[in-house]
A and B are shown apart, each in its own frame.
Chain A
Amino acid sequence: MSTKPAPDAEFLMRDTTSHPPAYTPAYKTSVLRSPRLSLISLQQSLSEVTAPVFRAEEFGPKDNDLILNYAKESLPVGERIVVHGYVQDQLGRPVKNALVEVWQANASGRYRHKKDQYIGALDPNFGGCGRMLTDENGYYAYRTIKPGPYPWRNRVNDWRPSHIHYAISGDGWVQRLITQMYFEGDPLIRSCPILGVVPSEEQIRGLIALQDVGAFVQLDSRAYRFDIVLRGHRATLFENHVQKTPEGALQ
Chain B
Amino acid sequence: MSNVFSAPGGSELGVRRETASQTAGPYVHIGLAPKAAGFDIFENSFGSVLFDAQTKGERIRIEGRVFDGIGTVLKDVLIEIWQANAEGKYAHPADRQPGKSLDPHFRGWGRSCTDFETGIYTFDTIKPGAAEGRNGRIMAPHISAWIVARGINIGLNTRIYFSDEAAANAKDPVINLIEWEARRKTLVAERTDRRSDDGAAVYRFDIRLQGENETVFFDI
Contact = CB atoms under 8 A, between A and B. Distances in A.
Given A46-B133, A49-B94, A52-B91, A207 B152 contact: no
A166 to B, nearest CB: 8
B17 A129 contact: no
Given A32-B68, A43-B134, A207-B19, A243 B97 contact: yes
Interface stretch (B25-33, B55-63, B163-171): B25-33
A214 interface: no
A178 interface: yes
Contacts of A243: 95-97, 132, 134, 136
Interface string B142-158: 10101011111111110
Contacts of A250: 135-136
A203 interface: yes
Interface in A136-152: none
Contact of A46 (B97, B148, B149, B155): B97
Given A40-B178, A47-B131, A229 B214 contact: no
Q: How large is the interface on A (under 10, 10 to 19, 20 to 34, 35 or more residues)?
A: 35 or more
Contacts of A218: none
Interface in A54-87: 58-60, 63, 69-70
Given A30-B152, A115-B116, A203-B17, A167 B24 contact: yes
A231 interface: yes
A19 B6 contact: no
A103 interface: yes
Interface in A115-131: 115-116, 127-129, 131
A127 B22 contact: no
Contacts of B108: 52
A6 interface: no
Given A22-B152, A232-B15, A103 B30 contact: yes
Interface stretch (B34-42, B118-126, B188-196): B34-42
B220 A52 contact: no
Nearest to A103: B31
A210 B1 CA distance: 8
Contacts of A102: 31
A75 B177 CA distance: 55
Given A50-B92, A101-B32, A204 B20 contact: yes
Contacts of B16: 88, 90-92, 229, 232
B18 A15 contact: yes
A34 B98 CA distance: 40
A35 B217 contact: yes
B51 interface: no
Interface string B64-102: 000011101010100010101000001111111110000
Contacts of B43: 60
A29 B76 CA distance: 12
Contacts of B24: 165, 167, 178
A9 B93 CA distance: 10
25 contacts: A14-B18, A19-B21, A19-B153, A21-B153, A30-B153, A33-B68, A34-B209, A35-B209, A36-B211, A37-B183, A39-B219, A41-B219, A42-B177, A60-B43, A70-B39, A70-B41, A113-B38, A167-B31, A173-B220, A178-B24, A202-B3, A229-B16, A229-B17, A242-B134, A243-B134
Interface of B: 1, 3, 6, 14-32, 34, 37-39, 41-44, 68-70, 72, 74, 76, 80, 82, 84, 90-98, 107-109, 116, 131-136, 139, 142, 144, 146, 148-157, 159, 174, 177-178, 183, 209-211, 214-220
Given A32-B69, A176-B155, 18 more contacts: A19-B20, A19-B154, A24-B153, A31-B69, A33-B74, A39-B217, A45-B174, A47-B144, A52-B107, A111-B37, A167-B31, A171-B94, A173-B157, A173-B220, A178-B28, A178-B148, A206-B1, A243-B132
